[in-house]
Structure 1
Amino acid sequence: MADTFSFDVVSNFDQQELVNVIDQIRREVTQRYDLKDSGTTLEVEKETINVVANSEMTLQSIEQLLLQKAIKRNLSLKIFDFQPFEMIGGNRVKQQINLRKGLSQELSKKLSKELRDSIKKITVNIQGDSLRVTGKNKDDLQQAINLLKKQDLEVPLQFENYR
């Protein structure tokens, strides 16, 4: 009996961990001497984080805090796409941080082609913003995972539903 094995390649992050990071930063903004009276606000939306502060230097401090707290909570730094800051009224600055989630169509095609060219015994299907890799041999799937882990991509990859 020829069983087939599969796994999914996705790019995702734990939304609750991100909320915890933002809560820690908000607490630190109210307690730290250099940030206490800065009037800094952080708003989390589904795909963005908006930071409003009184100076570019404060924005840089918030960015460093965000990166430090994310590392401690095992969030990949690749999920953050920092946009240039912009001046808004009242000598304040605003920065939007986009959150990367899912594989783009171009990246999915590139990874799919690379896997199929390198490992002949597997099939790769694009399913929305993820990839499904199937094969008859678990060793081929392990080889595919190792090949993907060696890639230096702009998004973090996770491997789910290994069966």
Structure 2
Amino acid sequence: MAASSNHSFDIVSEVNEVELHNAIQQARHEVAVRYDFKGTKAGIEYDKKNRCLTLTADHQGQLEAVVMVLKEKMLKRGVDHRALKRGKIEEASHDTVREVVTFHRGIEADDARKIVKEIKAMGLKVQAQIMDEKVRVTGKKIDDLQAVIAHLRKNGPEYPLQFENFT
């Protein structure tokens, strides 16, 4: 490669939909058959169209147990549980509690601006630009780009980031 060519990568936040679906199915199955959930209202409903889950349980402690099952299954399928965006816990009918959980997709505008600002503050010879729900980083030195990735892995937002299209 010529010394003057630029290298780049995209910073994105996405979830592997297939593995997420498999993790949800496994979590639903475990909640359905586990002894400590027998005879309770504990459950997971998956609304694929709206990309959200409705978790139900008899009480908040049990709801947390359902969330733990879900996170465990996501981990086993290689899906980062930080992609979960938990909603507020609400009282539901028949003395149960309910929580709607969504999934993080794309880098939010405020976070994209913070990422670009952080990259500039590093003082490396790289450019970062916001493109819809991702940030593209370009630079001449691969080492500089790798330094950006390492920095964002430690100091990025609460949700998972992926680094792709490395050229």
TM-score (norm 2): 0.88
* Partner residue, 2:158: 154
1:89 Cα shift? Answer: 1.8
* Partner residue, 2:22: 20
Does the CA-based 8 Å contact 1:105-1:129 persist in structure 2?
yes
RMSD: 1.7
- CA separation in 2, counterparts of 1:126 and 1:34? 47
In structure 1, stretches of 5+ residues that fail to align are none
- CA separation in 1, counterparts of 2:98 and 2:150? 40
Aligned 1:18-97 pairs, distance under 5 A: 18-45=20-47, 46-97=50-101
Deviates more, 1:126-135 or 1:143-152: 143-152
Q: SS of 1:162's equivalent?
A: coil
1:65 Cα shift? Answer: 0.7
Deviates more, 1:79-88 or 1:4-13: 79-88
1:152 Cα shift? Answer: 4.8
- CA separation in 1, counterparts of 2:109 and 2:54? 26
Does the CA-based 8 Å contact 2:125-2:144 persist in structure 1?
yes
Q: SS of 2:31's equivalent?
A: helix
Does the CA-based 8 Å contact 1:135-1:141 persist in structure 2?
yes
In structure 2, stretches of 5+ residues that fail to align are none
Q: 1:133 aligns with which of 132, 137, 142?
A: 137
Name the aligned partner's letter for residue 7 of structure 2. Answer: F
* Partner residue, 2:128: 124
TM-superposition CA deviations, 1:118-156 (whole Å, max 9, x none): 134111110011100011221211121112122152111
1:5 Cα shift? Answer: 0.9
Equivalent residue pairs, number = 163
- CA separation in 2, counterparts of 1:150 and 1:92? 38
TM-score (norm 1): 0.90
Deviates more, 1:50-59 or 1:151-160: 50-59
1:37 Cα shift? Answer: 2.0
